[in-house]
């Protein structure tokens, strides 16, 4: 899917988006990888944490979005940044760590992509991945249903993919035969958000955005207003004025 990312909207929920990235990083059992690649590095915030953990490593961030990369270059000017499609990416030589937080769910054909990434690792290297697996939650199902049913259906056709991330068992079966050690787990975060309609704002940083971008202003306003109404109904504010947004994420670390 072609998409223009908005770094500010994405970073507005930085804490909730950073936590899984750091939990993935904390569990990577590598002492001193020489070459580290951050696939789908986005604004480079997480890449900066990779640098903090392994200051001696040669770290490269790969992303297809020029907007995200321009923020990344400003944030971490000393790292290498490459504008590339991660599905076609290949390193010049095998690397010790391929890290990818919240990016591979944008790519299709995981049955081919994941084994190909493992092929780019040195012996003893690791593939560490986190992907949201919240596509069955109302925040997403309401959006997809609305997209398919209103006057905008033809314009939005093709933008609402069904669950791109498989069940955890799929990744186990795919990666276990290729790895010496496989750590795989899922966490449901109860994200406590503030604001008037924070779930709508949250999805605006990811799945809602390409749909809004595809519509002309009058339809865009109508679509967003209807989505905001539905989502507010599904995620009502609690007595303390906050909103709880349960969010599932899948993690895996395959060590060769």
Ligand X SMILES: C[S@@+](CC[C@H](N)C(=O)[O-])C[C@H]1O[C@@H](n2cnc3c(N)ncnc32)[C@H](O)[C@@H]1O
Q: Which residues bind ligand X (CB under 6 A)?
A: 5, 17, 21, 40-43, 45-46, 63-65, 68, 85-87, 101-103, 106-107, 206
Tell the residue number behind the tokens 């209103």, with chain if given: 150
Q: Which residues contact residue 66 at a Cβ distance below 8 angstroms, ignoring those fewer than 6 apart? A: 83
Closer CB to ligand X, residue 42 or residue 125? 42
* Number of C-beta neighbours around residue 7 at 10 A: 21
Compute the least distance from the CB of residue 35 to ligand X, in Å.
18
Compute the least distance from the CB of residue 101 to ligand X, in Å.
4
Q: What angle do CA 211, 214, 220 make, to 5 degrees?
A: 75
Closer CB to ligand X, residue 21 or residue 253? 21
Q: Which residues contact residue 214 at a Cβ distance below 8 angstroms, ignoring those fewer than 6 apart? A: 155, 156, 159
Closer CB to ligand X, residue 110 or residue 152? 110
Compute the least distance from the CB of residue 128 to ligand X, in Å.
12
Closer CB to ligand X, residue 16 or residue 155? 16
As a whole number of angstroms, the distance between CA 32 and CA 168 comes to 29
* Number of C-beta neighbours around residue 143 at 10 A: 22
Compute the least distance from the CB of residue 41 to ligand X, in Å.
5
Compute the least distance from the CB of residue 5 to ligand X, in Å.
5
Work out the end-to-end distance of the chain between its first and last CA atoms, rounded to an integer number of angstroms: 31
Compute the least distance from the CB of residue 253 to ligand X, in Å.
16
Residue nearest to ligand X (CB): 42
As a whole number of angstroms, the distance between CA 20 and CA 3 comes to 23
Closer CB to ligand X, residue 21 or residue 146? 21
As a whole number of angstroms, the distance between CA 185 and CA 105 comes to 16
Q: At 227, list the tokens.
A: 């989505």
Q: At 136, list the tokens.
A: 């069955």
Closer CB to ligand X, residue 101 or residue 152? 101
């Amino acid at each position: 899917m072609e998409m223009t990312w908005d770094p500010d909207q994405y970073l507005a929920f930085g804490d909730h988006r950073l936590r899984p990235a750091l939990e993935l990083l904390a569990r990577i059992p590598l002492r001193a990888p020489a070459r580290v690649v951050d696939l789908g590095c986005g604004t480079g915030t997480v890449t900066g944490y990779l640098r903090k953990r392994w200051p001696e490593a040669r770290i490269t961030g790969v992303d297809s979005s020029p907007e995200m990369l321009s923020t990344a270059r400003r944030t971490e000017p000393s790292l290498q940044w490459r504008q590339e499609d991660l599905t076609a990416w290949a390193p010049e030589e095998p690397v010790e760590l391929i890290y990818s937080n919240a990016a591979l769910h944008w790519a299709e054909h995981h049955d081919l992509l994941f084994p190909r990434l493992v092929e780019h690792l040195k012996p003893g290297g690791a593939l560490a991945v986190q992907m949201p697996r919240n596509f069955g939650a109302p925040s997403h199902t309401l959006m997809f249903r609305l997209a398919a049913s209103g006057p905008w259906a033809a314009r939005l056709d093709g933008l609402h993919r069904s669950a791109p991330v498989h069940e955890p068992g799929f990744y186990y079966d795919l990666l276990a035969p290729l790895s010496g050690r496989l750590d795989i787990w899922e966490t449901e975060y109860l994200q406590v958000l503030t604001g008037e309609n924070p779930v709508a704002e949250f999805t605006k940083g990811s799945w809602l955005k390409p749909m809004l971008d595809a519509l002309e202003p009058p339809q865009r306003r109508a679509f967003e207003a209807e989505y905001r109404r539905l989502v507010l109904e599904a995620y009502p504010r609690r007595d303390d004025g906050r909103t709880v947004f349960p969010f599932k994420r899948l993690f895996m670390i395959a060590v060769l």
